[in-house]
Amino acid sequence: HQGMTSFRVLPKVELHCHVEGTMRPTTVVDLARRNGIALPTADPTELYRYDSLDGFLEIFWLVQSTLGTRDDWARLGHESVVDAASWGVVHRESFFTPARHLAAGQDLADVVAGLDEGMAAAEQETGTTCFLIADIDRAYGPGAGLALVERLVELRRAGAPGTERVVGVGMDSTELGIDPATFAPAYDAARAAGLRLTAHQGENSPASAITTCLDVLGVERVDHALPVLDDPDLTARVRDERIGLTVCPTSNILIANSFPRLADHPLPRMYDAGLLASVNTDDPALIDLGLDEEYAAVAEAFGWDWARMVEVALIGVESSWLDEDAKRVLR
Ligand code: ES4
Ligand code: ZN
């Protein structure tokens, strides 16, 4: 039976992971104390409890609010890559979502330089590499999204520390009642600057919103994309254009409550349709699950053997934003 198989030694790429969602509960407690942020409990093991997407997002925002200084971001960056390496992640493309920090007066330059410093040290220690994706929080609106991209582009032009690690732009948070097309100015600015493009869509919105992300935003990947199979034309297009879908099976059960059990997840049907769906954790600390355990859960739920999970891992490599030489090493 595959349930007990450990996937630690299988080299894995993770394309859908929020750096704030990797924060160790002990680190949240420590940073909250240093920065004077009140927590609902001082017991680290009690911290990550939620029973809906809204309840989850409240905790996610609380975790974000503990990040007050450049050194805090550096510590998070370092610990996130060290932990990923311990789960057999050899390369990760990690979102960071600075909207509430920028609104509170932090400088994007400090966020990026801090994350880069911690990640660079962890890369040296572990050999695991990490890219950053600057993530637009939809809840702050299209204007804030464009401002984030413009500031990022300005910092890159100036050669500010760490900006070369930021390879792309994404968008997350609430989907309901928000037309992704309204974020086109931010995506146009990112594309013009040579940044790669992805967007969370279809965590809890219909297939038509995914089509809008392809048509209007020009994304190369879609994060979640759960209802993609509802639309045969969209399915064919995602297959033919080799759009990477970054799927987070356990997150969809625990955070969005989209399915009662992993066995009900559409991942096997995505593969049957020939889609490039990778397996990812979304928020490993918040769901208390490393990517090795996510692979084990998927293998168990669908009865997939080691060879099949190697194919899953290779889909992650193919839909990553590594260059051809780096991909060849991982194939
Ligand atoms: C997230 Cl919108 C959303 N859903 C699930 N996990 C997340 N982590 C950060 N944003
Ligand atoms: Zn996500």
User: If you write DSSP's letter for every residue of 210-251 in order, what string do you get?
Assistant: HHHIIIII--SEEEE-TTGGG-HHHHHHHHHTT-EEEE-HHH
CA distance 155 to 158: 5
pLDDT at 1: 45
Atom 3 of ligand 1, residue of closest alpha carbon: 173
Q: State residue 225's pLDDT score.
A: 98
- The ligand minimizing its distance to the Cα of 52 is 1
For residue 68, which amino acid is it?
Answer: G
Quick one: which of 193, 194, 195, 199 has its CA closest to 212?
A: 199
Q: Please list the active-site residues.
A: 203
Q: How many CB atoms lie within 10 A of CB 142?
A: 19
224 Cβ closer than 6 Å to some ligand 1 atom = no
Number of the ligand closest to the Cα of 252: 1
At residue 51, the pLDDT reads 86
Residue 324 structure tokens: 């051809």
Ligand that comes closest to the CA of residue 20:
1
DSSP E strands: which ranges in the chain?
A: 12-18, 89-96, 129-137, 166-172, 196-201, 221-224, 244-247, 276-279
Q: Catalogue all structural domains in the chain, each as residue range(s) with its CATH number.
A: 2-326 (3.20.20.140)
Q: Does 22 sit in the ligand 1 pocket, CB within 6 Å?
A: no
Tell me what percent of the chain is helix, strand and coil, each rounded to the nearest 5.
Answer: 55, 15, 30
> 3-class DSSP state for residue 127?
coil
For residue 51, what are the CA distances in angstroms to 16, 47, 137? 21, 13, 21
The preferred substitution site among 19, 95, 283 for testing ligand 1, maximizing ligand atoms within 8 Å of CB, is 283
Q: Angle at the Cα of 219 (from 214 to 224), degrees rounded to 5?
A: 85
CB of 98 shorter than 6 A to ligand 1:
no
Q: Do 290 and 87 meet the contact criterion of CB atoms below 8 Å apart?
A: yes
Spacing, Cα 157 to ligand 2 middle (Å): 28
Edge to edge, what strands does the sheet with 244-247 contain?
12-18, 89-96, 129-137, 166-172, 196-201, 221-224, 244-247, 276-279
Q: How far apart are alpha carbons 116 and 165 in whole angstroms?
A: 7
Which residue's CA is the closest to the ligand 1 atom numbered 10? 173
pTM: 0.98
Closest CA to 287 of 13, 18, 93: 18
**173 touches ligand 1 (CB under 6 Å):** yes
Instruction: For residue 24, report the distance from its CA to the centre of ligand 2, in Å.
Output: 17
Determine if ligand 1 sits within 6 Å of the CB of residue 172: yes
117: Cβ below 6 Å to ligand 1?
no
- Give pLDDT, residue 2: 46
- In ligand 1, the atom with minimum distance to the C-alpha of 255 is 5
pLDDT tens for the chain, 331 residues: list them: 444 689 999 999 999 999 999 999 999 999 999 999 999 998 988 999 998 888 999 999 999 999 999 999 999 999 999 999 999 999 999 999 999 999 999 999 999 999 999 999 999 999 999 999 999 999 999 999 999 999 999 999 999 999 999 999 999 998 999 999 999 999 999 999 999 999 999 999 999 999 999 999 999 999 999 999 999 999 999 999 999 999 999 999 999 989 999 999 999 999 999 999 999 999 999 999 999 999 999 999 999 999 999 999 999 999 999 999 999 999 9
Residue 53: its pLDDT value, please?
85
Expressed in angstroms and rounded, the spacing between residue 1 Cα and the centre of ligand 2 is 30
User: How far apart are alpha carbons 203 and 139 in whole angstroms?
Assistant: 15
Cα dihedral 242, 254, 91, 168 in deg (nearest 10): 60
The Å distance, Cα 328 to ligand 1 centre, comes to 31
DSSP state letter for 199 = E
ipTM of the prediction: 0.94
Do residues 204 and 227 lie in contact, with contact meaning Cβ atoms separated by under 8 Å?
no
